[in-house]
Chain A
Amino acid sequence: MTEMFILIPGRTSDQGCGISEGKFQEKYQKQITSLQVAPGDMERLALAEGDWVRLTTEFGQQVEVAVTAAKKDELPEGLLFIAYGDISSRLMGGDTHGSGMPTSKGIDVELEVLRSETA
């Protein structure tokens, strides 16, 4: 089962603190590897906290990542959020369309639920 979403990577407070505490520390790593999903989308896709999904971009970049429910109404349905880091970078294309800036927010991704297939 797959569905299209728009991914918004961004800064979070914990991710910012993690930069100072060390990028190889657990806090930072946890922040940048948790995909936030709107509670409504979680329910509709029957996703539980910690379940895994696969994200694929139109250019073929692909990651697998664990999900967590976004807080209250922070995220509208159809949007995904992840803190800047290795995962979000993997989903950016190399092309900057002549701007120097890769499209790093508002990325179209195909979401595939993996659930119990991955530990």
Chain B
Amino acid sequence: MTPLLRQFLDEGRGLIQEATRHLLVLEREGESREGTAIVFRAFHTLKGSSGLFEVGAMTRMLHVAEDLLAGIREGRTVIGAGLVDALLACLDQVGQWLDTLEASGELPDGADRDADSLISTLRSAAGLGGPAVRDGGSPAPQAGAADAGADFLAAFGEGERREALRLLREAGPGAGILAIRYEPRAGCFFDGDDPLELFRGLPGLAAFRIEAGSPWPVLEEFDPFSCSLVFRALAVGQEERVRNAFRLVSDQVRIVPLDLEMPEGPAVRKGTAVADAVIAEQVRLLHMPGCPRPEVAGRIGSAAAAVINVLLYEGRQDDVGAVEMAADEALAKADPRILSAAILRMAEHRRAEHRLAEGGASAASAPLTAAAGQDQDTVRTGAAQRVLRVDEARVDHLMRLVGEMAVAKNGLEWLVRSSGADDATVRRLQDLHGTLDRLTREMHGAVLRIRMLPLRQVFQSFPRLVRDLSNRLGKPVRLVLEGEDAEADKAIVEQLFEPVLHLVRNSLDHGVEAQEHRRTAGKPNEATLTLRGFQSRGQIIVEVEDDGRGIDAAAIRRRAVERGLLDAAAAAELTDEDAVQLVFAPGLTTAEAVSELSGRGVGMDAVRAAVEKTGGSVTVRSRPGQGTTVRLALPLTLSSVRILTVQAGGRRLGVPMDVVSQTIRLPRGQIRRVKEHEVFVLRDRVIPVVELSRLLGLESPVRSAGEDARLLVVEVDGRVAGVEVDGFAERLDAVLRPMDGLLSGIHGYLGTTLLGNGEVLLVLDLKEILR
């Protein structure tokens, strides 16, 4: 994917969000000059940037949408729900196309058809007639026009395009960028034409080039009255005026409207690209074989000068010293490679920093980048915040390495104790181990923080969703978002969307009363739905709160008894607060009507399942007649624990690897009895053996003497023990769920984890068990 396309995709998605948000505001709060301008601008920029790619259908559709918005801006068209719907549908379509474009590099096959259909939707929503007639009566833009424009554009440099954009921003409404290619007839001078004069009189000339149409002959044979020039230009203004200026030579000129819209950012990055290229070129230069001896010093010196100048250009004075030193050495030994090696090292360092800086400049949709705020406004105001864009897999890899480091560190501790070294050495090694231990833990925390994302990622989809739901249900709803900046691990944040969506649907469907009921209850016509996020005690909390009817505890009790979830006596004993928690039980629903939206009984138990899968919990608080609050509490991080699964007492259990320093198989003969204890000797140390099944009160199998014992060598609070198990199975990274619900009273377990096959694995807390 080209960087330009990448940028288009990122910015396009940002613009879709921005336009969506402001369309919703427009619809809610009525037309405002400012709001209309923002939406217009977003469509305009989308359309303009799309012109740089072969996405004719998209450009065409956006062009029509932009025209309508211009009409609204100028008061010719009135904005209404129908038009907002059509514009939103347009944005949805563009969003889908961007996805396709990202995946396959082109629009899907039916794009033109879809564009046509949306264009007619737009037109009928705006109360305009037939599909292809534009307001001004000029023909609709051709699907290929934008692509042809991109060809025209290629002749011009970045600076010339920017100049055109600058003029466009200053120009009044109706102005566009036009690419002009004028190749006068050879005999044009005899017709009285003076092509240069046409350009002199052209307003809004942004870029101008004069080229020879064919190579010049020798001067003696040159015919001064035969024109063989080609003129290229970019002009900003009304298309009609520009065409008018060339009307007498219209057969020799091509004028293509460009709709060129380019962000202002690239200039900075272009400098970086040039710097990159210059640095790379010096390395190639230094590696070029066969440099004549007298030129070696000049070559090394000039490469050093070039690289140092790049550094000065970028304000990286700190790196200059290293390059200078390497250059001195390279000169002294007449060996260019000494310098090239230093340049490569410096470049590595420089690139790493640039990657950091670059993320901040682009409002990208790539997941990890969003830490700066997916929201365009945040990106703008938070320009100082630097964001790194990395592949998630790399962070995961880093995480695994940290985990392995922790295991290796445990091994070190064991080695120190059993090494038999003198006390001073042991103490020093222990200090070192302590440092390693602290660093490992800090690294773990630091890596976890890399993965943090703001809740905005989830919340931002809801204004649109709530609007659609509220329209469909005929219940006016005001959505309030709070705490969008609260952060949690990417995996957690991403898993929040589905449950929150369920809850929002439920609230609107069942919680919020129909309008007439709200009126009789003396409530405002418009319901309020709040999505709230915050961190609390190492958890990320998301609340979905409505001001609807609340949950009828009595109805829940009744229903639970009907369903056989509990008997009438038990149900009666439940407090209202506890009773409403039953909504999370599978198959229980209280809505009298089966609604199209939520379906029967689907939702709350699915919410619970989803939340518990990530080690979270869900609770509901109901204030009858006043509203419902559902609270999701999830861990901040999906801190996965490295686990060894073992067999003991006929069960499969998990043991966290961080307490296990090694696993050994031992001929049973080596386990001796000392008093009432079984022990074995490992590196001159006597270590007690305990049987896991016995510790857990499980039945231990009968062991034959010929069978090797399988032991986990475990260290807890400075005491080492051999824990005998029936067998070792696989090692895995698991996300631990705390022991709650039925299991909450049981000790000796760290938590549970779901295995791939859906089986629940209990993970032992060996520290507690062995203590």
Do A and B originate from a single complex?
no
B residues whose Cβ falls under 8 Å from a Cβ of A: none
A residues whose Cβ falls under 8 Å from a Cβ of B: none
